[in-house]
Amino acid sequence: MQVVGKMESINCFHCGEECVEEVIRYSEKSFCCTGCKTVFEILNSNDLSYYYDLENAPGISPKLREGKYDFLDNDEIIEKLLEFDHGESQIVSFTIPSIHCSSCIWILENLNKLHRAIKSSQVDFPKKKIRISFSMDELCLKELVLLLARIGYEPNISLENFEEEKKGVDRSLIYKLGVAGFAFGNIMFLSFPEYFEIREFWLEQFKHLFRWLMFSFSLPVVFYSGKDYFISAYKGLRSGLLNIDVPIALGIAVLFLRSTAEIAMDAGTGFFDSLSGLVFFLLLGKFFQQKTYSFLSFERDYKSYFPIAVTRITSENGNHSEEQVPVYKIEKGDRVIIRNEELIPMDAILIKGDASIDYSFVTGEAEPVTRLSGDRLYAGGRQQGGIIEVEALKPVKQSYLTQLWSDEVFSKDKSSAFQTLTNQISKRFTYAVLSIAFISAIFWMFYEPSKTWNVFTAVLIIACPCAIALAAPFTLGNLLRIFGRNHLYLKDATVIEQTAKIDTVVFDKTGTITTSERNSITYEGIELTEQEHELLNGSLRASNHPLSRALYKMLKKNNISTPDVFREHVGEGLETSTSDLCLKIGSAAFVKRNALVTGESDTREDQQKTSVHISANDQYKGCFSFHNAYREGLSALFEDLAKDKELIILSGDNDNERERLEKLLPASTKMFFNQKPGDKLQFVKNLQQQNKKVMMVGDGLNDAGALAQSDVGIVISEDINVFSPACDGILDARKFDKFPEYFKLSKGAISVIKWSFILSLCYNIIGLGFAVSGNLMPVVAAILMPLSSISIVGFTTLATQMLGKKLGN
């Protein structure tokens, strides 16, 4: 019997995790597993130990599964994955979720030292991407991926990569901003002499040249940088909407036309400086609002989860052979092999093997269910255990889960339908400006007709709502960054405005308000003896089943005895024994078979709970039951939200947690159980038809429909690097208790925008005073416009920073 005492906490030299199960000593360093040690060996023997000098314990423990990348032998898949393929040189890009520190960048950019076939590699840290240039003659794609996986940087290759269109990056905003900035600067220089209005001889001589130069600089500003405003205004008018771009486009057009007319008729210098400044500031606002989290994606669907290829069995003349085929080639009736940890990509019937399917993607319930030969398996399930053979019932795209994505909500653009605060105000603003322009024009027509045209255009120029258009982008852009620092990553700025309007919040249960770790267990039954306890620990340690690992982690470990006989029955349980003790650990059916059961047992309840049963020497002992642990601060959070919002729990699970939830949550919370993914979508839709603004908070693919349908869909994620379904925002699970704060901040942002509107209206009134009285000088416009814009930017920045302090970071 091997006895291991309680260990002191030692952290792994490679990955920094605490060595819980074993400590491997190698070259005077400690490692938590052989995987970590192997990576160290590889790096050390290739002179790459600088990796460990850059950061403390930077590594990732490699988890490699046999045969996982066999599909990379398939030529069609290789062709799809390669970015460039010519002769001896190939280029491929991978997304590697585990990239997290400067050591990662260093090691991945020194891959050429690990294999001579790798020519160079470049990391894009924010996107967590690597681009490798290598030669396939010496190193095939599969070996390259295995090399990465072996040092802990396993690339993510999913069905999405297979379909990926090689699309270019959209840099048009940077170009437009560059053009506007360039023209703005130069026009400012050229118009400087005339600001002072000195009737000097040489100035008179050159002013025509200066003015026409300004005109030519302003051409790209109006027709390239500012073209989006004209397009958007046109689209708005066509759909009968007076959006903010209508007065802006009007302002730009009037500025340009009047300035051109002025210099053509030699009547003045024009407003080219204000024009280019206006466009430049507006684009700056747009640029600022465009905060993107390049390492996150808010547009994912099932394709990011599904495998790119599966193993198909073909039998010709009685000869069975296996081949890797892209999943789209799978047709009804094909036989497919699913290995441990692999995802079933289509609806199928189990033919052979012990299926233990984890449907957490589909239902949110992490507990594997056992299926027998002939049972139906649904797409999205993950096999846990041995190899199974299935027969496809439907092709991938027609499977139950994937069909959810054919619902129209997934093709609808949510943000376009939303009326932003700025657009709401712009309607009244446009009417007001137009009526002031006309009234003052009519007044001057009778008073001094020569000034009519001058005043009319001056009103439209000075009232151009530059400051109003900047208020929302800067406020929301700032808040977006503050949220990002506090681990709530939002897709874009309109989400904040939408959040401020939410009156109903729908929560998914499993994975959303519960943690994925099972950290509470209860034991029911006959007390285990010391000897039984020791053997139980020893047996659990040897098993790889997720429940065994979870239970082992939580049991007290005084002594551990290693079993002499150890047998694992896949999908059922463990059978272990020493000389005088025989334990059966596993499912109720497995343990109670041939066992003497004392006391009554409720089979219905047995099935509903996640539990591990134990019998010793064929005497039934009892069971360990796992409980979903609710996230910390859940009750307080619900209390807080319930004050002004309707709260609903929408769960795909059965209702055996209902009582516990009712105790935890405010009485007004409604609960619905056994909701399928389609039901959840419909449920949210019904709420919206009752004119409710719904936020859906979920975590898995099963919530995808509801997330897309809701006004704001937020995904709670334990690890933001793991992919989450399409949504409007991703919240780090550690910040779950801060959830109500985000609502308050969103509402605060709306009031900041409203205050900025009032501030910019003040500027407009001052400007209108000049315009209506008929003495708007270009220099006044050139001062007033940037001044109002800059003070709005300053005000919103300060105000949002104050708001952000409330979050207490």
The whole-angstrom separation of Cα 244 and Cα 238 is: 14
Q: Which residues contact 577 (CB under 8 A, 6 or more apart)?
A: 563, 564, 565, 583
User: Would you say 508 and 699 are in contact if contact means Cβ atoms under 8 Å apart?
Assistant: yes
Q: Which residues contact 219 (CB under 8 A, 6 or more apart)?
A: none
Closest CB to another protein among 4 and 42?
42
First to last CA, the chain: 52
Least distance in angstroms from the C-beta of 116 to another protein: 5
The whole-angstrom separation of Cα 611 and Cα 621 is: 13
User: Would you say 309 and 728 are in contact if contact means Cβ atoms under 8 Å apart?
Assistant: no
Least distance in angstroms from the C-beta of 114 to another protein: 6
Residue 156 carries which DSSP code? Answer: B
Least distance in angstroms from the C-beta of 133 to another protein: 16
Closest CB to another protein among 186 and 415?
186
Q: Residue ranges of the alpha helices (H) in 502-556?
A: 530-542, 546-554
Closest CB to another protein among 397 and 481?
481
Least distance in angstroms from the C-beta of 126 to another protein: 5
Q: Say whether 171 sits in a helix, a strand or coil.
A: coil
Closest CB to another protein among 54 and 555?
54
Beta bridge partners of 796: none
The whole-angstrom separation of Cα 221 and Cα 230 is: 12
Least distance in angstroms from the C-beta of 543 to another protein: 25
Beta bridge partners of 52: none
Closest CB to another protein among 88 and 639?
88
Least distance in angstroms from the C-beta of 178 to another protein: 5
Closest CB to another protein among 145 and 468?
145
The whole-angstrom separation of Cα 103 and Cα 100 is: 8
* Residues at the contact surface with another protein, assessed by CB under 8 A: 42, 45-47, 50, 54, 66-67, 102, 105-106, 109, 112-116, 123-127, 139-140, 142-143, 146-147, 150, 169, 171, 174-175, 178, 182, 185-186, 202, 205-206, 209, 213
Q: Residue ranges of the alpha helices (H) in 98-140?
A: 102-109
Place of tokens 């397009």: 231
What beta strand segments (E) does 673-804 contain?
A: 694-698, 712-717, 729-732
| Of residues 405, 367, 363, 393, the one with CA closest to residue 380 | 363
Least distance in angstroms from the C-beta of 202 to another protein: 6
Which amino acid belongs to residue 647? Answer: L
| Of residues 26, 304, 41, 20, the one with CA closest to residue 159 | 304
Closest CB to another protein among 62 and 563?
62
| Of residues 249, 237, 274, the one with CA closest to residue 259 | 274
Closest CB to another protein among 146 and 779?
146
106-110-113 Cα angle (round to 5):
150
Least distance in angstroms from the C-beta of 50 to another protein: 7
Distance of alpha carbon 427 from the chain centroid: 34
Closest CB to another protein among 129 and 549?
129
Closest CB to another protein among 64 and 787?
64
Least distance in angstroms from the C-beta of 358 to another protein: 25
Least distance in angstroms from the C-beta of 267 to another protein: 23
Least distance in angstroms from the C-beta of 308 to another protein: 18
Residue 151 phi, psi dihedral angles, 5° rounding: -95, 15
Least distance in angstroms from the C-beta of 154 to another protein: 14
**345-379 per-residue burial string, b: 16 or more CB within 10 A, e: under 16:** bbbbebbebbbbbbbbbbbbbbbbbbbeeeeebbb
| Of residues 584, 586, 588, the one with CA closest to residue 619 | 584
What beta strand segments (E) does 145-289 contain?
A: none
Closest CB to another protein among 204 and 448?
204
Least distance in angstroms from the C-beta of 317 to another protein: 28
| Of residues 84, 180, 68, 176, the one with CA closest to residue 132 | 84
Closest CB to another protein among 182 and 673?
182
H or E element: which one contains 313? strand 309-316
Closest CB to another protein among 116 and 329?
116
